[in-house]
Amino acid sequence: MGLTEDTTTKPDVAKQKALKLLEEEKVDILVGSASSADALAILPLAQEYQRIMVVEPAVADSITGTQWNKYIFRTARNSSQDALAVAAAIAGAKPGASVAILAQDYSFGREGAAAFVKAGEQKGLKVILQEFAPMNATDFTANIQRIINAKPDYLFVIWAGSANTPWKQITDMRVPEKGIKIITGTPEIAAMKAMMNLVGQEGYSVYYYGLPKNKANDWLVQEHKKRFNGQPPDLFTPGGFAAAVAIVQALEKTGGDTNAEKLIEVMEGMSFETPKGPMTFRKEDHQALQTLYHIKFEQKEGFDYPVPNLIREIKPEETVPSIMNKR
């Protein structure tokens, strides 16, 4: 039986809801959450109550790094995997390029920027400016003007969610027309509707339903459209699928035993099939190694957003992140 609680993207609420599930509902396994800050608030509870937590879709490196404990497994990618994918895409297009970063001022944005600086240096890129906007910001004029003044070759935008996005102001301030190429990850479809100015620009994708070519994704797309009035699966849908597959496969291996120590034993190094292809939980930190996608945004008839078109799959071995925990 599955139970759900809404964290409202507030870490204190996330902790309270997790405690309710652990103490009142006696759940065997936790899955979540959308916000890295929420996930970080819950991690210590997994250790305290000795329960497996599968982190999905939170991204911050510290989840499988400095704040990790042995009960944490992550099917979501981490910030370093994103950074390695972006750095590879930029370096392949323009070796030695200069890059500015625009990110949200919380763990997702800060850790994503730090990871890119490291990955960029490895690829010979130069990060010349980092701009962090408050989570509740609605005016990004000053941030964008400083980026324009810095004259980078690329602007890497690290953003989550479809509210309070900078895309309209990036368009209004004509950033691409000033010779600055924009690169970003594909967000939810709703957020992409404000990104038509990115047609012709490149980026990377964690998931877009038209990118993977495998039986699991074919089934997910078909079944999702059938159940939800023709709507395709969105950015986070395959992550939930992957978490569920991993849990079911692990329980099959333990014969249904939910004891955390037995689950850890079978889950470390375990590979499993997902709509993105095979994932593997790395033994050292339980981070799932996985495929990402180098894409180009294209305008297509019948779509009111720029459609991610596949340039190539970025294989799991190309984005293996450093081991950052102290195991």
Angle, vertex CA 100, rays to CA 105 and CA 61, nearest 5? 45
The answer to whether residue 228 sits within a structural domain is no
The SS3 of residue 49 is: helix
Instruction: Please count the structural domains in the chain.
Output: 2
| One domain for residues 124 and 69 | no
Phi-psi region of 277 (alpha: psi -120 to 50; beta: other; left: phi over 0): left
Q: What is the pLDDT of residues 318-327, one digit of tens each?
A: 999 999 997 7
For the segment 184-195, the average pLDDT, to the nearest whole number, is: 92
Q: How far is it, in rounded angstroms, from Cα 166 to Cα 290?
A: 29
Q: Is the Cα dihedral 278, 283, 286, 291 positive or negative?
A: negative
pLDDT per position as a tens digit, 210-254: 999 999 999 999 999 999 999 999 999 999 999 999 999 999 999
Looking at the structure, do residues 187 and 243 belong to the same domain, yes or no? Answer: no
Decide if 136 is inside a domain: yes
Same domain, 177 and 285: no
Is the predicted pLDDT of residue 162 greater than 80, yes or no?
Answer: no
Q: Rounded CA gap, 17 and 118, in Å?
A: 35
Tens digits of residue pLDDT in 23-36:
999 999 999 999 99
Q: What is the pLDDT of residue 49?
A: 98
Asked if residue 155 and residue 204 are part of one domain, the reply reads yes
H or E element, residue 41: helix 36-49
Residues 205, 102 within the same domain? yes
> Do 301 and 282 have their domain in common?
no
Please check whether residues 72 and 98 belong to one and the same domain.
no
User: Domain check: are 192 and 306 in the same one?
Assistant: yes
Q: What is the mean pLDDT of the chain?
A: 95
Tens of pLDDT along 260-293? Answer: 999 999 999 999 999 999 999 999 999 999 999 9
Q: What is the pLDDT of residue 197?
A: 82
Whether residue 327 lies inside any domain: the answer is no
Strand-pairing partners, residue 184, are 157
Average pLDDT over residues 58-64: 95
161: confidence class by pLDDT, cuts 50, 70, 90: confident
Residue 326 domain-assigned? Answer: no
Q: Is the pTM of this model over 0.75?
A: yes
- With CA atoms as reference, report the closest residue to 145 among 166, 126, 116: 166
Please indicate, yes or no, whether residues 99 and 158 belong to a single structural domain of this protein: yes
Q: Is residue 218 part of a domain?
A: no
Q: Which residues of 20-32 are buried (b: 16+ CB within 10 A; e: fewer)?
A: ebbeeeebebbbb
**Domain of 238, in residue numbers:** 11-77+234-289
Across the strands, what pairs with 31? Answer: 54
Q: Is residue 2 part of a domain?
A: no
Label residue 181 exposed, middle or buried (CB < 10 Å: 0-12, 13-18, 19+): buried
Same domain, residue pair 299 and 280: no
Length of the chain: 327
The rounded distance, in Å, linking the Cα atoms of 205 and 86 is: 10
Residue 264 is assigned to a structural domain of this protein? yes
40 touches 67 (CB < 8 A): yes
- The answer to whether position 216 is within a domain reads no
Q: 94 and 37, same structural domain?
A: no
Q: What is the DSSP letter of 67?
A: T
Tokens 């490291």 correspond to 118
pLDDT for res 1 = 67
Euclidean distance between the first and the last CA atom of the chain, given in angstroms as a whole number: 33
Residues 161, 303: one domain? yes
CATH number at residue 106: 3.40.50.2300
pLDDT at 78 over 70: yes
